[in-house]
Amino acid sequence: MGMKQLSVFIENREGRLENVSQSLSENGINIISVSLADTSEYGMLRLIVSDPEKGKSVLKENGFAAMLSDVIAVDMPKYFTSLNQLMKTLSEININVEYMYSLSAGDISAIIIKTSDNDKAAEGIEKAGLKQVKAEDVYGL
């Protein structure tokens, strides 16, 4: 039940983020969630967008190195123990969290996670009574 994340390698220089957002905007693709990690030379931009396949295509046409990855969006109710419950669940089934970032849009409050085994993580999340956010609910925002 996961969703697709658009990952973009960008040079760490002025205007590159604007170029990405402009390319997506001009093609009717909404950015729903974003994470940026950088080094002195380049950045890794991770995006949840309204149309991941089209986003990848548009960015490649505009000269960006872009790829799609499978991620999981886990509903985070508005109480403090939700993240701890998720981390405990994944730890108990020996799943490593490679990275995570938040998604907050409309009525959705979630954590996007990439794990060492998304299928096993999804099963564990379900068994623990945690709720995944459906891709179609996010893409339509």
What pLDDT is stored for residue 80 in this prediction?
A: 63
What backbone phi and psi angles, to 5 degrees, belong to 29? -105, 120
Identify which has the larger pLDDT, 107 or 74.
74
**What structural domains does the chain harbor?**
3-70 (3.30.2130.10), 71-139 (3.30.2130.10)
Rounded percentage of the chain residues whose pLDDT exceeds 90: 74
Q: What is the mean pLDDT of residues 70-89?
A: 87
Q: Of 45, 53, 55, which Cα lies nearest the Cα of 11?
A: 45
Per-residue DSSP letter, 117: -
Asked whether residue 85 carries a pLDDT value surpassing 70, the answer given is yes
Alpha helices, DSSP H, located in the chain: 16-26, 52-61, 81-92, 118-127, 135-139
pLDDT score recorded for residue 79: 65
Distance, C-alpha 121 to centroid of its chain: 15
Q: What is the pLDDT of residues 96-106, one digit of tens each?
A: 999 999 998 88
DSSP assigned state of 79 = S
| pLDDT at res. 107 | 87
Question: Is the Cβ–Cβ distance between 124 and 88 less than 8 Å?
Answer: no
Neighbours of 133 (CB within 10 A): 21
pLDDT > 70: percent of the chain? 97
- pLDDT, mean of residues 2-24: 93
Q: Name, in order, each residue with C-beta under 8 angstroms of 26's C-beta and a sequence gap of 6 or more.
A: none
Sign of CA dihedral 8, 56, 50, 2: negative
